[in-house]
Chains A and B, each alone.
Chain A
Amino acid sequence: MTETLVQINNVRKVYQRDAFEVPVLNGITVDVPRGDFLALMGPSGSGKTTLLNLIAGIDRPTGGSITVDGREISRFNESALASWRARHVGFIFQLYNLIPVLNAFENVELPLLLTKLSKKQRRQHVESALNIVGLGDRMFHYPRQLSGGQEQRVAIARAVVTDPTIIVADEPTGDLDAKNAQETLDLLQQLNEEFEKTIVMVTHDPKAAQHAKRTLHLEKGLLVESVEEQAAEA
């Protein structure tokens, strides 16, 4: 039986916009097994990015609970959430969000600065993460010296360098051309299959979702269907 890594139980999220309350998630219940590669799809405003943010611990639900690896993160305060994210979550953003004044090596090293690893250990981890994404020869290039695809691969290296429990990706191919998008998705698939990383990915692109093991569709803050990846069924 597959172990459940993320348990989302009747989660609601309401944003306060001036005098108005805007409900975004209206009672989502879903489990994400360890080693899953889950795609969240849905139209704009359906709540998929909000759900991703809640799973990643960068936002807190208005109601319900979220448990990751046995810990109910929805009860954590901000400081505890920050420490938890540093140890357990790897982030991949649509616009890569690398720090422009740091080179690839230094960008990937950032999450490790929050650990007790020595400089030598940090270097070993960074080098191996950059080698996994195929950028071992671009370590000292700055973001402006890299292509979009390369920047996203550096971002992926930054996401995996701490060996996180879960990787969250928000439209990771949204700003890439077809070739680089394909390479990025292959890389995510490789991380999932070879390194058994649990990945939750938000995407608009059905082709991108095909790389996931499962796809969940959201609409108006509700889960409307769940589609098992064909390969997984096989």
Chain B
Amino acid sequence: MKFAKLVRRNLFRSKVRSLLMIALMGAIFFLVATLIQILAAFESLNTGGAGDRLVVQSAFSLATMLPYAHEQKIRQVPGVVDVAKSQWLGGYYKERRNTFAILSVDADKFKTVFPEHKLDDAENAAFVRDRQGAIAGADLMKRFGWKLGDRITLHREIFPFDPEVTIRAVGHHPVQGSILFVHQDYLNETLKWNRVGTFWVKVADPNQMAGISQQIDAAFKNSEDPTETFTEKEFNRQFVNMMGNIKLLFSSISLCSIFMTVLLAAITMSMAARERVTEVAVLKAIGFGRRLILGLMLTEFVITTLAGFAVGVGGAALLYANVDVAKYTMGYLPNFHIAPATAAICAAAALAVGLVAGGLPSMKSANLSVVDGLRKVV
């Protein structure tokens, strides 16, 4: 394109200002991309989970535990294939910053009820055999350099229970690579409570889940421990809803950042356009039309914002590709990276910022009267 040189030269007319502008855009798009990605990680909780599982918890709250005896009644509901008890333990390895998800689960039911962890048969058998065995997610194995057979001690967070376990199996869940499972029996042997937080129910026909839920809850309606049964997706959504304010906060910060970018870019671009009033008048005098002037200036401004996008989002992608974010977020952001969709959203935002912020000064330049423009200095 024969006008490319003109655009390129104008882009770096004031190198310091252009570089500062690109750096500022880069910093803001880095922040926005990161926030969007964190929001996406929250959202993935919503979409995660198998479609053939129900979760039974106490009707009072998730913190209220249910008696083991419920399991037998749940099993008797038609359509139930299997049931696994599970309890959130929390905890950490060696230091608090090494916090990650630790759950107890019925070892012999794990492979049937949670097949998406893709356990090796031999490893699963070893886990089932060893009451102090553990299944560690692949990300944890990598993060701490663990090997099968390693003996580790975990530290309590909620219960008076510091599990000493041997890693017997590696979980290969596509998303949840930072979870560690221990035996439910091991927990119960220590605490002797015979109570558990949740029952995970695998059903034969996902279309019957609503009916099965009602039957389970009806079975305990008049007991001391009534239940509330959710599909797994509904259960996960509870946690996302708990994060509702965080989502709103992050979304607001993202929008404010982009709005701030628009204002800063508009100020800078207006200054850049104002400095060139006479030059634009000269270009118009020698025959550059209104559309051409508008196109040249908008191209210049959009390139600036896209360069900011490239620096910010490219930098974020590079950083998260080389830094284990899970390590610094106590395992809450496993496999954290800038997804193509996030990059696309930021690219669209950068384009929009360029067009919106550059639109007004470009229009003013394009509509400038040649006589008025030349009069500025002549």
Chain A positions within 8 Å of B, measured between CB atoms, are 53, 56, 58-59, 78-79, 82-83, 85-87, 89, 91, 93-95, 97, 99-102, 106, 110-111, 113-114, 119, 158, 170
Contact = CB atoms under 8 A, between A and B. Distances in A.
B355 to A, nearest CB: 23
B34 to A, nearest CB: 36
A110 B6 CA distance: 9
A52 to B, nearest CB: 10
Given A91-B286, A111-B287, A119-B2, 13 more contacts: A53-B370, A53-B371, A56-B285, A58-B285, A58-B371, A82-B284, A86-B288, A87-B287, A93-B282, A93-B378, A97-B282, A110-B286, A113-B6
A101 B286 contact: no
Interface string B349-378: 000000000000000000001110010011
B174 interface: no
A216 B180 CA distance: 96
Interface of B: 2-3, 5-6, 9-10, 12-13, 278-279, 282-290, 369-371, 374, 377-378
A90 B285 CA distance: 9
Given A93-B378, A95-B378, A170-B378, A101 B284 contact: no
A102 B2 CA distance: 14
B interface majority secondary structure: helix
Contact of B282 (A99, A113, A119): A99
B6 A102 contact: yes
Contact of A91 (B10, B13, B285, B369): B285
Nearest to A97: B282
27 contacts: A79-B289, A82-B287, A82-B290, A83-B287, A83-B289, A85-B285, A86-B286, A86-B288, A89-B285, A89-B286, A91-B286, A95-B377, A95-B378, A97-B278, A97-B282, A97-B374, A99-B282, A99-B283, A102-B5, A102-B6, A106-B6, A111-B287, A113-B3, A113-B6, A114-B286, A114-B288, A158-B286
A113 B2 contact: yes
Contacts of B13: 100-101
Contacts of B286: 85-86, 89, 91, 110-111, 114, 158
